Amino acid sequence: MKTAEGTIIQLPKVKILATGGTIAGSALLKTQMSEYKAGAIGIQTLLDAVPQVKDHADVSGEQICQISSNNITDGIWLQIAKKVNAIFNNGEAEGIVITHGTDTLEETAYFLNLVIKSTNPVVLVGAMRPATAISADGPINLLNAVRLAGNPLAKNKGVLIAMNDEINGARDATKTNTSHVNTFRAPELGYMGYINNGEAFFYNASLRKHTLSSEFVVNDLDKLPYVEIIYGHANDSRILVDAAVEAGVRGIIYAGMGNGSIHEKAEEGLIAAQKKGVVIVRSSRCGNGTVKGGQVKYSKENFLTGDSLSPQKARILLSLALTKTNKLDEIQRMFNEY
């Protein structure tokens, strides 16, 4: 690119992979914030709405799918992971932006955080208001995400989430509000950084393993081991546990009460499932804190613990762990490290 003074500057190559979501959402009226079709608008139209991205990066886009992210599948995750790994391997881009619905954005981010073999920035971005809305947040979020993906400061931080001028890490961030634009937060461990006037400032990084230091490789896989989440509650039973076993599940995340406590009726089912070889991981529905060892009655039953991962992220780690091993102590090590 040529500056106003005539100096030639080399812009970073940033590839945008588009998957749909509210950032590509279209409503009949500008005032409709929740009644719209997610994923209706293609990548080129999204880019045309933010021509300023071209001042910061040599951008190209590719449509991977056009869905509302509540419909994401393992198949799409594997497709994205292979694509991202190939782009970096072939030197096609220095950074990648993935436009995504916010409902499962944190899950896609954490999956990629564990399977991308590069230190180059991968930034997930979405929006809470459809592209057609008054004060749509998508265009500024997309511009910031492209700038972040081309920024060497964003290297080796794991997969990032950039929305609402905040930078979050894939492991710890979660969607915390159904409709507000400041929905992504890591309530206890905090933001990784801020974006101020388009410029990124970092303060924190995760010490947990990711990307290049991760042992998980999916390039040769066409499906992932089947893991379900079962949500603990008052008056719980073993019905869903038995159904999951019947359906051929290889692992169960029990989103337990408090510190990973299990209703005694569900526990009977989980003990039986464990004896049949199903890996059981206790996590918590609290949304904060850790589930560690220390409850002897559960460790005696060979139930593992999910650390500070939310149930939906523990499901991803357990599924990837099962691509490598069935050994319980190895799987527990992974929960302690990732």
The bridge status of strand 279-284 relative to strand 251-256 is parallel
Task: Examine residue 103 and tell whether it contacts ligand ASP (CB under 6 A).
Answer: yes
Pair 139, 48: CB distance under 8 Å: no
Binding segment for ligand ASP (CB under 6 A), chosen from 26-34, 99-107, 285-293, 312-320, is 99-107
Task: Examine residue 94 and tell whether it contacts ligand ASP (CB under 6 A).
Answer: no
Token digits for 183? 């929905």
Instruction: List the one residue from 12, 126, 150, 260 that touches ligand ASP (CB under 6 A).
Output: 126
Nearest to 123 by CA among 213, 26, 28, 17: 17
Residues labelled catalytic: 22
Nearest to 119 by CA among 82, 83, 160: 160
Task: Give 21 or 260: the residue with its C-beta nearer to ligand ASP.
Answer: 21
Q: How far apart are the two ends of the chain, measured CA to CA in Å? A: 40
DSSP letter (8 states) at residue 177: -
Report the nearest approach of ligand ASP to the CB of residue 20 (Å): 6
Report the nearest approach of ligand ASP to the CB of residue 181 (Å): 10
Task: Examine residue 138 and tell whether it contacts ligand ASP (CB under 6 A).
Answer: no
Task: Examine residue 316 and tell whether it contacts ligand ASP (CB under 6 A).
Answer: no
Binding segment for ligand ASP (CB under 6 A), chosen from 48-56, 63-71, 254-262, 314-322, is 63-71
Token digits for 81? 């992971």
- Output b/e per residue, 147-177; b: 16+ Cβ within 10 A: bbbbbeebeebbbbbbbbbbbbbbbbbbbee
DSSP letter (8 states) at residue 329: H
Distance (Å, whole) CA 117 – CA 89: 9
Task: Examine residue 164 and tell whether it contacts ligand ASP (CB under 6 A).
Answer: no
Task: Give 22 or 305: the residue with its C-beta nearer to ligand ASP.
Answer: 22
Task: Examine residue 130 and tell whether it contacts ligand ASP (CB under 6 A).
Answer: no
Task: Give 44 or 70: the residue with its C-beta nearer to ligand ASP.
Answer: 70
Report the nearest approach of ligand ASP to the CB of residue 38 (Å): 4
- By CB under 6 A, the residues from 259 to 278 that bind ligand ASP are none
Q: What are phi and psi of 195, to 5 degrees?
A: -115, 120
Task: Give 70 or 73: the residue with its C-beta nearer to ligand ASP.
Answer: 70
Instruction: List the one residue from 21, 169, 193, 232 that touches ligand ASP (CB under 6 A).
Output: 21
- By CB under 6 A, the residues from 171 to 230 that bind ligand ASP are none
Strand order in the sheet with 227-231: 227-231, 251-256, 279-284, 304-305
Pair 177, 183: CB distance under 8 Å: yes
Task: Examine residue 38 and tell whether it contacts ligand ASP (CB under 6 A).
Answer: yes
Interaction site with ligand ASP (CB under 6 A): 21-22, 38, 68-70, 101-103, 126, 128
